[in-house]
Amino acid sequence: MTIALPECRIVWDPLDSPAWDEAFAGIRRSNLLQSAGYARAVCPPKGQRPRRGRILIDGEPAGLFQIQEAQILWRAIHAVILDRGPLWLDGHGGPAHVAAFFRAFDAAVPRRIGRRRRILPEVSDTPEMRAALDGTRLRRRSGSVGYQTVWVDLRPEPEALRAGLKGKWRAELAKGEKSGLATDWSWSGATLPRLLKGYERDRTARGYPGPEPRTVAELCRALLPERRVLAGTAALDGRPVAAVLLFGHGGSATYQIGWTTPDGRDARAGHLLLWQAMERLREAGYRDLDLGGVNDAEARGVKTFKSGLGGETVTLVGQYE
């Protein structure tokens, strides 16, 4: 069935546009990769520059997006990255809007010799959305697997949030609350050196594919001036046994990294820290928490843990070019 498409126009904004920032702050489930702080952190080390666009549907504001670009020889060699965009304002983002946007995006940066495009649409993997993208000039990358994450709505009262936890997760949290753990929280970055050192040590020892420590440190430097870095640590008898790090962006937040020692796991430190993080994010005005990538093929236990918070598991359509 052919979708009737509305008129879509892309307006490119300067990086310091207050209008773009204001719109981003009002969007539900905004993600870290589309935030200004992410661009400030990751683009300079990679020789990239960010560009911000607003989406007009039939002349009305409908959404926004951010891309990363790299170029040499006056754009003869050109790379364009759109990760987890676009983001839509309320009342927009259906299949017709998605198809109209990506047709306009393709016209703005068409596929050509010398240009490499990496596009991870923030579009749920449904038959309707797949059909919408199939009607554009985007090409799905062979073997691409849809990115999957868990979103938690932080707006309910704490009692309702706790009641929404899965029964086993809630029982493990209760154990953590009775285990004698001492937790410490900071928005100022005071505990970051120890937290990041512990993460690098844990990642090396266990060999899991988490974010590069250098990238995490750059993100901290970019977001600390805005007090958008929430760091939590847990200790037993004065010994650090677990830590978590979360980043704020607009009205949403992202769980970025965490590590736990065997003693911390026995004491359910991960459960206690993540629950307390949700409480603090809610108090700070954040409405949604992105728990980060999960999958069924690898790290099944991580998905089980994150799913226990009672959020909504969302699968995106995968990578296009």
- Least Cα distance to 39 among 13, 61, 60 occurs for 13
Q: How far apart are CA 204 and CA 201, in angstroms?
A: 5
Q: Which alpha helices (DSSP H) does the chain contain, by range?
A: 18-26, 36-42, 95-108, 127-134, 158-163, 167-177, 192-206, 213-223, 262-266, 269-283, 300-307
294 shares a domain with 157: yes
Which pLDDT does position 144 carry in this prediction?
85
Q: How far apart are CA 223 and CA 229, in angstroms?
A: 6
Which pLDDT does position 11 carry in this prediction?
96
Which pLDDT does position 17 carry in this prediction?
87
69 shares a domain with 91: yes
Count of structural domains within the chain:
2
Does residue 144 sit within a domain?
no
35 shares a domain with 120: yes
Please name the residues in contact with 197: beta carbons below 8 A apart, sequence gap of 6 or more: none
154 shares a domain with 65: no
Which pLDDT does position 74 carry in this prediction?
83
Q: How far apart are CA 148 and CA 13, in angstroms?
A: 30
Q: pTM of whole model > 0.85?
A: yes
Cα of first residue to Cα of last residue in the chain, in angstroms, is 24
Domain span at 107: 8-139
Does residue 254 sit within a domain?
yes
Percent of the chain predicted with pLDDT > 90: 88
* Confidence band of 52 (pLDDT split at 50, 70, 90): very high
189 shares a domain with 43: no
Mean pLDDT of all residues in the chain?
A: 95
Does residue 246 sit within a domain?
yes
CA-to-CA dists, residue 22 to 33, 50, 54, 60, angstroms: 17, 18, 12, 16
Which pLDDT does position 297 carry in this prediction?
67
- Whether residue 40 contacts residue 133, with contact meaning beta carbons closer than 8 Å, is answered with no
299: pLDDT strictly greater than 80: no
Residue 200 CB neighbours (<10 A) = 18
Retrieve residue 277's tokens: 């993080």
Does residue 2 sit within a domain?
no
**What average pLDDT does this structure show over 189-195?**
94
Q: Pick from 115, 139, 163: which residue ends a domain?
A: 139
15 shares a domain with 76: yes
73: pLDDT strictly greater than 90: no
**What average pLDDT does this structure show over 6-25?**
93
Task: Tell me whether residue 148 is exposed, middle or buried, using C-beta atoms within 10 angstroms of its C-beta: 0 to 12, 13 to 18, 19 or more.
Answer: middle
Which pLDDT does position 182 carry in this prediction?
98
**What average pLDDT does this structure show over 262-273?**
98
Which pLDDT does position 145 carry in this prediction?
85
160: pLDDT strictly greater than 90: yes
Does residue 99 sit within a domain?
yes
pLDDT digits (tens, 9 = 90+) for 273-282: 999 999 999 9
- Whether residue 29 contacts residue 254, with contact meaning beta carbons closer than 8 Å, is answered with no
Which pLDDT does position 3 carry in this prediction?
67
289 shares a domain with 248: yes
- Tell me the three state secondary structure of residue 255: strand
- Least Cα distance to 262 among 310, 312, 217, 202 occurs for 202
Q: Pick from 139, 158, 173: which residue ends a domain?
A: 139
110 shares a domain with 154: no
289 shares a domain with 180: yes
52 shares a domain with 199: no
298: pLDDT strictly greater than 80: no
* Confidence band of 210 (pLDDT split at 50, 70, 90): confident
**What average pLDDT does this structure show over 15-31?**
93
Q: Pick from 110, 139, 168: which residue ends a domain?
A: 139
Does residue 108 sit within a domain?
yes
pLDDT digits (tens, 9 = 90+) for 211-262: 999 999 999 999 999 999 999 999 999 999 999 999 999 999 999 999 999 9
93 shares a domain with 13: yes
Q: What CATH code is carried by the domain that includes residue 267?
A: 3.40.630.30
Does residue 145 sit within a domain?
no
Q: How far apart are CA 297 and CA 282, in angstroms?
A: 32
296: pLDDT strictly greater than 80: no
Does residue 239 sit within a domain?
yes
**What average pLDDT does this structure show over 105-110?**
97
221 shares a domain with 161: yes
